[in-house]
């Protein structure tokens, strides 16, 4: 079963009245009409070539940011997981006590 999200939609009175009346005439709920309209608009947006280009750009940006963050963590921890797959031993942050 998929997770359902709740979305609040604000409509002006005139549009709400029209939607309510049309739904009543078609014997469907307002929620059904809104879901149908959203599905149609999502399909239109997904077919837009400019959206696909932006998606590729965003994917590349996310990959770059993830690589930068991974490198920062590796530098912080003294690891090089890409070459060995194992963490390098860490140096202690505190000096050992004398006489122990």
In a domain, 44, yes or no: yes
Here the tokens at position 63 are 């990959």
What does the alpha-carbon distance between residue 28 and residue 40 come to, in Å, rounded to a whole number?
A: 17
What does the alpha-carbon distance between residue 64 and residue 48 come to, in Å, rounded to a whole number?
A: 25
In a domain, 23, yes or no: yes
In a domain, 8, yes or no: no
Using the structure block, give the residue that is written with the tokens 């990959």: 63
Q: What percent of the chain has pLDDT over 90?
A: 74
Here the tokens at position 15 are 């549009």
Domain that holds residue 59: 13-77
Our count of domains for the chain comes to 1
Which residue, 9, 36, 40, 12, is CA-closest to 23? 36
In a domain, 56, yes or no: yes
In a domain, 59, yes or no: yes
Residues 69-86: pLDDT tens digits? 999 999 999 876 555 555
Average pLDDT, the chain: 86
What does the alpha-carbon distance between residue 46 and residue 41 come to, in Å, rounded to a whole number?
A: 8
């Amino acid at each position: 079963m998929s997770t359902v999200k709740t979305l609040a939609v604000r409509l002006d009175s005139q549009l709400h009245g029209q939607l309510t009346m049309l739904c009543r005439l078609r014997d469907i709920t307002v929620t059904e009409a809104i879901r149908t309209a959203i599905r149609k608009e999502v399909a239109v947006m997904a077919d837009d070539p400019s959206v696909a280009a932006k998606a590729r750009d965003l994917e590349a940006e996310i990959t770059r940011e993830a690589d930068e963050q991974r490198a920062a963590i590796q530098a912080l921890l003294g690891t090089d997981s890409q070459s060995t797959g194992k963490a390098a031993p860490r140096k202690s942050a505190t000096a050992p006590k004398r006489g122990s």
